Chain A
């Protein structure tokens, strides 16, 4: 009964491919996020959705397209993958906007070769 689950956990793909990462939370939270952790462990927010509505888009290239079919799911689709996209992508959720605690998934390690 994982609270925030991401699939896949590992993803190795070639440059130019399109891939998706799925995220689901069973906490009943209204807000979900995608964060990117680079090779130096630096974490930066990419997107935030509240009740399926995009709230934050932190100047992420438009090759990245989040999709929230319902408030329990926030998927991340990446087109035309580049070497620099290699990172660990974390999904997270929180009770509501401006909530004081975010719950993180286990991460998806994306390697672009």
Chain B
């Protein structure tokens, strides 16, 4: 079964510091990959996604992620954290099979990002 692992349920950084949120997936066929952000009492908002093509993808709010097939990873980074980045971040995969894309997202357990002044 496909799964998503997010290392670190809580990450705390200082404002202006690098943000690195880790995500690894297990899949025999590289899936589509996503990062979603959830602000308190809100729904999920897509930050960025990887489907095909360039392995470094840029998203909203200055975030980017790199797909590394050899490491089965899709870590999320942002060069300089802002207070407004404090939220829960979810890595997700949309599994592919040899018939094409499937129809669901499998989420990691989430990483709560705290940004200290």
Contact = CB atoms under 8 A, between A and B. Distances in A.
Given A90-B43, A98-B94, A40 B109 contact: yes
Interface in B66-117: 88, 90, 94, 100-107, 109-110
Interface residues of A, number: 28
Contacts of B45: 104
A55 B101 CA distance: 13
B52 to A, nearest CB: 10
Contacts of B32: 100
Interface residues on B, range: 20 to 34
A99 B51 CA distance: 10
25 contacts: A4-B43, A40-B109, A41-B38, A42-B107, A42-B110, A43-B90, A45-B105, A48-B103, A56-B103, A56-B104, A90-B44, A98-B101, A98-B103, A100-B49, A100-B94, A101-B34, A101-B46, A101-B49, A102-B46, A104-B36, A104-B43, A104-B44, A104-B45, A106-B41, A107-B41
Given A105-B43, A106-B41, 18 more contacts: A31-B103, A33-B104, A41-B88, A42-B110, A45-B106, A50-B103, A92-B44, A97-B101, A97-B103, A98-B102, A100-B49, A101-B46, A101-B49, A102-B46, A103-B46, A104-B36, A104-B45, A107-B42
Interface of A: 4, 31, 33, 35, 40-45, 48, 50, 55-56, 58, 90, 92, 97-107
